[in-house]
């Protein structure tokens, strides 16, 4: 028995040994087979991206981030690897200004006009610059420069011809040179409590509420506006160049003219005006019986001295007066002021600019020199913010500044002596503006009824707020547009074919639907609709990947024939997509990739 | 080494820390890729405006010259001028500081008033249900982010219950109809001194949510510190001796044990007070408080570097000063401290 046991044990052992060896051999064979099969069948990874580009955008803006990401994924389908970099504005700007050859290829940013003409967009972003400033795509075309300069000088005297010249200039810019991607014209959205009437958003002055237009519900006297942060930085009407206009400036100060929401120039402190035939001499007849908040009557001396100070200080938007050579007043007629220009320019529109166009009381010059006045107007804390009693401004507007705690709140009060009078009505007596940084808090506040007006809430919530019983959401077109300036100097975007291919690759409508949730429309050229210089039938790029591929091939590149093939070549999806791609290739037994 | 040498040594060390902070923040702020001159000139400035601003701000000078002129000015108490507001930073800080101090002091009083008793109870009832409960509360307090808690408080107490105000230090009605005369900048004190009762109540009500929000971290910390050192002290022989001699438990806990236990806890609690000035920034942000937090938030987002450096130096001095005070305080009060 024992022998049998021993024998069987030995047999079993040998059997086991055999199976182990067999298993090892089988395993090796399988591995070799797999490796061979993989070697035979596995497609070599397709070559890398056909070009690498860099796009920069204003990092803190969630809309711009979405736009950049969508551009990235769409360009990937063409085999273009787009690096998107969200930056602080100043850093983004510095990178662009330093050296065009090392700078970004696509500069994504918003523009809105200071002077209410298409020229503002064309000259700032596309006019040849010796030192780079806002021409951040480094566009240079002397023909284009001459066209827009001539058009601007003709705007007042021969608008028809001016528009023709703008059309020609923009055809060069958009259709021939494709200097930029024109993404969308933004719609502004505001949330206003139900029951308040009279609010009009003027695209020329985005987010500006003229409080005298508002009609309070019965029994209410205070209008409470929630702002998105510390945005009043300077209350000097000569130098302010930030968001002061948005909140209060237009209520405290008034310009000579104003542009209506329909785009018409109307007189405010000017009653009428005329221009000489050569466009070089402008006569403005001033409104009579206007008083500043300090009681001084408004006349031609006040107007001239205001603009002279703004020009002298040369801060903020003082450049709008660059065309003015001399401001003349007449002793015999204190309500006539004459501007002599160095070159023809549409002065009626310039006088309606959102900045540097304010008229203020000459009494401020009693305080001291320009710097002393500046300091007084910005009343430095801790000396009780301002010395003495309000008003703390020197304008003619319907409301005066009664209190300002920087970073906290502003209080405006009704100016009883306003030239427009306070008949009709009802009007608000007091305007309270609170700075509320956190969007969730602003939303809570408007829904809870402690604010009457706010904006910059998460777009996803707007519909729900609008449907609710508390507040209405108003959305209106603005003169603000988003552009992606294309680098004209650095390869590969120095090639117009490449620029056009990029312009055709942008999913314009998807961007508006997904990033903006519909609050915008695709731009037609650099000048937003409604502004002088906008061309209704200007050439517009559409989302057309086939066309983009064609242009790239023409430029000597070999874009992948399909999105799937392109995905395989993109470095950032190195692992996942090639596997998926290889599997589909195995299944379909065909190369989708066009060999070079 | 006597106490005088100790104090002198501590002060010298603190000065060194402050100088280090000034140097690091100054050079860091200059390394950030941005152009303060362009900021100074405004949103759409011309090249000439930027050039003018650069000379005016002294940015055309070499870096070491800028550094030493900054130090010299700092010695004279001049923190420079804000690029955005174009006003003296020291003046602005003094203007905004009372709001922040009012908030953190209120928060700290809440933290101490709740934290110390809870810590004591927790230590006495060690490992009982109440101990577990308070420990959970303290961990939650120390770890819940204030910006989240603040918004949740707003949703509950303003949005749903409607019993507490949403933002600000005082209601807009009071501000317009019954404004508080600024004397110290502390609204509670100012409204009390001027007998403005309506304003006083409004200020008090407005203080509740932000103060509780800011109190959560020091509260949790205070509770745990007091608990830990109380447990240690309660195990000492002299406590056992006191118990044996029949002294009432209340007297033992509060007279004999807490007095000894509170001193070590004091350092950590004191530092959490110093630390809460930075925590206050987030809370101010949510409640639109309008204190130093709002000031620095705006400065950071707009790269207003003189303000960033100025506030950093200020916070550093605040922290170091409290640290110094605590060290000296402890050396004087507690004979066990060796120096």
Q: What is the DSSP letter of A215?
A: B
Please report which confidence band the pLDDT of residue B38 belongs to, taking 50, 70 and 90 as the band edges.
confident
Which helix or strand (DSSP H or E) is residue A122 part of? helix A118-126
Q: Is the distance from CB of B213 to CB of B283 less than 8 angstroms?
A: yes
pLDDT for A48 equals 73
User: With 50 as the cut, is the pLDDT of residue B21 above it?
Assistant: yes
User: With 60 as the cut, is the pLDDT of residue A596 above it?
Assistant: no
Total residue count of chain B as it appears in this document: 339
Q: Average pLDDT in the A410-437 region?
A: 91
Average pLDDT, chain A: 86
Residue among B339, B273, B331 nearest B111 (CA): B273
Q: What is the DSSP letter of A359?
A: B
% residues pLDDT > 70 (chain B): 96
Helix, strand, or coil here: A563? helix
- SS3 string, chain B, reads CCHHHHHHHHHHHHHHHHHHHHHHHHHHHHHCCCCHHHHHHCCCCCHHHHHHHHHHCCCCCCHHHHHHHHHHHHHCCCCCECCCCCCEHHHHHHHHHHHHHHHHHHHHHHHHHHHHHHHHHHHHCCCCHHHHHHHHHHHHHHHCCHHHHHHHHHHHHHHHCCCCCCCCCCCHHHHHHCCCCCCCCCHHHHHHHCCCHHHHHHHHHHHHHHHHHHHHHHHHHHHHHHHHHHHHHHCCHHHHHHHHCCCCHHHHHHHHHHHHHHHHHHHHHHHHHHHHHHHHHHHHHHHCCCCHHHHHHHHHHCCCHHHHHHHHHHHHHHHHHHHHHHHHHHHHHCCCCCC
Q: Is the distance from CB of A350 to CB of A115 less than 8 angstroms?
A: yes
pLDDT for A384 equals 35
Please report which confidence band the pLDDT of residue A285 belongs to, taking 50, 70 and 90 as the band edges.
very high
pLDDT for A303 equals 96
The B residues from 245 to 264 touching A (CB cutoff 8 Å) are none
Residue among A407, A402, A431 nearest B99 (CA): A407
User: With 70 as the cut, is the pLDDT of residue A2 above it?
Assistant: no
B162 contacts chain A (CB < 8 A)? yes
Q: Which residue has the higher pLDDT, A408 or A105?
A: A105
Q: Which residue has the higher pLDDT, A569 or B210?
A: B210
CATH superfamily for domain B89-301: MetI-like (1.10.3720.10)
User: With 90 as the cut, is the pLDDT of residue A334 above it?
Assistant: yes
pLDDT for A302 equals 95
Please report which confidence band the pLDDT of residue A3 belongs to, taking 50, 70 and 90 as the band edges.
low
The answer, yes or no, to whether the previous bond of A391 is cis (omega within 30 of 0) is yes
User: With 50 as the cut, is the pLDDT of residue A172 above it?
Assistant: yes
* Probe site for chain A from B29, B30, B40, B43 (most A CB atoms < 10 A): B43
User: With 70 as the cut, is the pLDDT of residue A589 above it?
Assistant: no
Q: Which residue has the higher pLDDT, A103 or B285?
A: A103
pLDDT for A234 equals 80
Q: Which residue has the higher pLDDT, A76 or A229?
A: A76
Q: Is the distance from CB of A184 to CB of A515 less than 8 angstroms?
A: no
pLDDT for A8 equals 59
% residues pLDDT > 70 (chain A): 87
Q: Which residue has the higher pLDDT, A12 or A102?
A: A102
Please report which confidence band the pLDDT of residue A216 belongs to, taking 50, 70 and 90 as the band edges.
very high
User: With 90 as the cut, is the pLDDT of residue A146 above it?
Assistant: yes
Structural domain spans, chain B: 3-75, 89-301
pLDDT for A208 equals 84
pLDDT for A183 equals 96
The reply to whether the predicted model has a pTM over 0.95 is no
Two structure tokens written together for A21: 């060896």
Q: What is the ipTM of this complex?
A: 0.76
Which helix or strand (DSSP H or E) is residue A521 part of? strand A520-522
Please report which confidence band the pLDDT of residue A478 belongs to, taking 50, 70 and 90 as the band edges.
confident
Min distance A406 CA to chain B CA atoms (Å): 8
Whether the CA torsion B191, B192, B195, B201 is positive or negative: it is: positive
Q: Which residue has the higher pLDDT, A115 or B37?
A: A115
* Probe site for chain B from A89, A112, A246, A406 (most B CB atoms < 10 A): A406
User: With 90 as the cut, is the pLDDT of residue A412 above it?
Assistant: yes
Write phi, then psi, for A273 (nearest 5 degrees). -150, 160
pLDDT for A505 equals 94
Residue entry with tokens 């695209």: A203
Other CB atoms within 10 Å distance of the CB of residue A194 = 11
Per the CB < 8 Å rule, is B166 touching A93?
A: no
Helix, strand, or coil here: A356? coil
Please report which confidence band the pLDDT of residue B18 belongs to, taking 50, 70 and 90 as the band edges.
very high
Q: Which residues contact A514 (CB under 8 A, 6 or more apart)?
A: A66, A70
pLDDT tens digit string along B167-211? 888 888 887 777 788 788 898 998 888 888 888 999 999 999 999
* Probe site for chain B from A233, A356, A452, A454 (most B CB atoms < 10 A): A233
Which residues in chain B have their CB less than 8 angstroms from residue A405's CB? 290
Min distance A152 CA to chain B CA atoms (Å): 19
pLDDT for B44 equals 57
The lowest-confidence range among A418-422, A459-463, A522-526, B42-46 is: B42-46
pLDDT tens digit string along A530-539? 889 999 999 9
Which residues in chain B have their CB less than 8 angstroms from residue A90's CB? 33-35, 38-39, 303
Which residues in chain B have their CB less than 8 angstroms from residue A458's CB? none
Pairing between β-strand A106-111 and β-strand A430-435 as defined by DSSP bridges? unpaired
Min distance A318 CA to chain B CA atoms (Å): 9
pLDDT tens digit string along B229-242? 999 999 989 989 99
Q: How far apart are CA A306 and CA A238, in angstroms?
A: 8
């Amino acid at each position: 028995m024992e022998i049998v046991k021993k024998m069987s044990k030995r047999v079993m052992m040998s059997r086991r040994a055999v199976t182990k060896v067999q298993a090892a051999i089988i395993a090796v064979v399988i591995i070799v087979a797999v490796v061979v099969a993989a070697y035979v069948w596995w497609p070599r990874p397709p070559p890398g991206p056909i070009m690498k580009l860099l796009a920069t955008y204003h990092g803190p803006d969630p809309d711009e981030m979405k736009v950049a990401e969508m551009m990235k994924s769409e360009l990937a389908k063409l085999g273009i690897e787009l690096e998107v970099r969200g930056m602080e504005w100043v850093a983004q700007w510095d990178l662009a200004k330093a050296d065009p050859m090392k700078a970004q290829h696509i500069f994504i940013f918003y523009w809105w006009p200071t002077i209410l003409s298409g020229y503002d967009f064309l000259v700032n972003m596309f006019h040849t610059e010796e030192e780079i400033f806002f021409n951040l795509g480094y566009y240079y075309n002397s023909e284009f420069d001459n066209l827009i300069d001539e058009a601007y000088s003709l705007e007042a005297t021969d608008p028809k011809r001016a528009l023709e010249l703008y059309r020609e200039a923009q055809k060069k810019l958009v259709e021939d040179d494709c200097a930029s991607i024109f993404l969308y014209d933004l719609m502004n959205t505001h949330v206003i409590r139900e029951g308040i009437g009279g609010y009009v958003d003027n695209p020329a002055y985005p987010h500006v509420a003229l409080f005298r237009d508002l009609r309070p519900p019965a029994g209410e006297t205070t209008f409470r506006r929630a702002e998105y942060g510390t945005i009043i930085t300077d209350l000097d009407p000569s130098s302010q160049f930030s968001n002061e206009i948005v909140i209060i400036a237009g209520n405290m100060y008034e310009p000579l003219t104003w542009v209506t929401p329909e785009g018409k120039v109307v007189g405010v402190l000017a009653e009428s005006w005329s221009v000489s035939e050569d466009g070089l001499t402008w006569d403005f007849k001033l409104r009579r019986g206007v008083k500043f908040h300090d009681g001084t009557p408004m006349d031609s001396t006040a107007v001239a001295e205001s603009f002279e100070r703004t020009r002298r200080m040369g801060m903020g938007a003082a450049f709008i007066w660059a065309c003015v050579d001399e401001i003349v007043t007449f002793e015999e007629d204190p309500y006539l002021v004459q501007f002599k220009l160095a070159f023809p320019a549409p002065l009626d529109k310039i006088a309606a600019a959102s900045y540097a166009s304010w008229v203020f009381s000459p009494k401020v010059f009693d305080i001291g020199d320009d710097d002393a006045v500046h300091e007084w107007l910005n009343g430095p804390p801790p000396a009780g913010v301002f010395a003495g009693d309000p008003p703390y401004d020197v304008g003619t507007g319907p409301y005066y500044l009664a209190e300002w705690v920087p970073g906290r709140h502003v209080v405006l009060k009704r100016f009883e002596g306003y030239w427009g009078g306070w008949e009709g009505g009802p009007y608000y007596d007091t305007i309270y503006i609170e700075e509320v940084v956190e969007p969730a808090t602003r939303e809570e506040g408007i829904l809870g009824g402690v604010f009457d007006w706010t904006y910059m809430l998460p777009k996803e919530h707007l519909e729900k707020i609008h449907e609710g019983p508390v507040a209405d959401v108003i959305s209106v077109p603005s003169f603000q547009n988003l552009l992606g300036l294309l680098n004209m100097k650095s390869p590969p975007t120095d090639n117009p074919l490449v620029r056009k291919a990029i312009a055709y690759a942008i999913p314009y409508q998807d961007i508006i639907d997904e990033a903006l949730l519909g609050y915008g429309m695709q731009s037609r050229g650099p000048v937003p609709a409604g502004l002088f210089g906008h061309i209704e039938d200007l050439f517009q790029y559409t989302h057309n990947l086939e066309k983009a591929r064609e242009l790239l091939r023409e430029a000597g590149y070999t874009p992948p024939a399909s999105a799937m093939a392109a995905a395989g070549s993109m470095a950032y999806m190195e692992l996942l997509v090639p596997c998926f791609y290889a599997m589909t290739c195995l299944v379909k037994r065909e190369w989708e990739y066009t060999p070079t | 080494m006597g106490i005088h040498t100790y104090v002198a040594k501590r002060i010298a060390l603190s000065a060194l820390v402050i100088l280090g902070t000034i140097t690091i923040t100054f050079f860091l702020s200059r390394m950030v890729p941005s152009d303060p001159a362009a900021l100074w000139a405004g949103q759409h400035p011309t090249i000439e405006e930027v050039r003018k601003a650069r000379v005016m701000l002294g940015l055309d000078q070499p870096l070491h010259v800028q550094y030493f002129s900054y130090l010299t000015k700092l010695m004279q108490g001049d923190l420079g001028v804000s690029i955005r507001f174009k006003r003296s930073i020291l003046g602005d800080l003094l203007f905004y500081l009372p709001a922040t101090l009012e908030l953190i002091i209120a928060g700290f009083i809440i933290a101490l008033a709740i934290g110390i008793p809870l810590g004591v109870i927790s230590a006495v009832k060690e490992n009982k249900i109440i101990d577990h409960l308070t420990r959970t509360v303290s961990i939650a307090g120390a770890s819940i982010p204030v910006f989240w808690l603040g918004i949740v408080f707003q949703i509950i107490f303003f949005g749903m219950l409607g019993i507490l105000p949403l933002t600000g230090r005082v209601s807009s009605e009071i501000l317009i109809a019954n404004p508080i005369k600024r004397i110290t900048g502390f609204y509670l004190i100012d409204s009390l001194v001027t007998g403005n009762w309506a304003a006083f109540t409004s200020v008090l009500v407005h203080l509740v949510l932000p103060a509780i929000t800011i109190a959560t971290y020091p509260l949790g910390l205070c509770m745990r510190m007091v608990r830990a050192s109380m447990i240690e002290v309660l195990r000492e022989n002299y406590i056992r001796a006191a118990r044996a001699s029949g002294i009432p438990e209340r007297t033992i806990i509060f007279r004999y044990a807490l007095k000894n236990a509170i001193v070590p806890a004091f350092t950590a609690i004191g530092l959490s007070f110093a630390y809460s000035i930075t925590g206050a920034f987030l809370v101010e942000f949510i409640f639109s408080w309008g204190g130093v937090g709002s000031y620095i938030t705006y400065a950071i987002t707009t790269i207003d570097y003189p303000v960033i450096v100025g506030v950093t130096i200020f916070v550093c001095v605040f922290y170091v000063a409290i640290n110094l005070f605590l060290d000296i305080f402890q050396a004087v009060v507690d004979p066990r401290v060796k120096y």
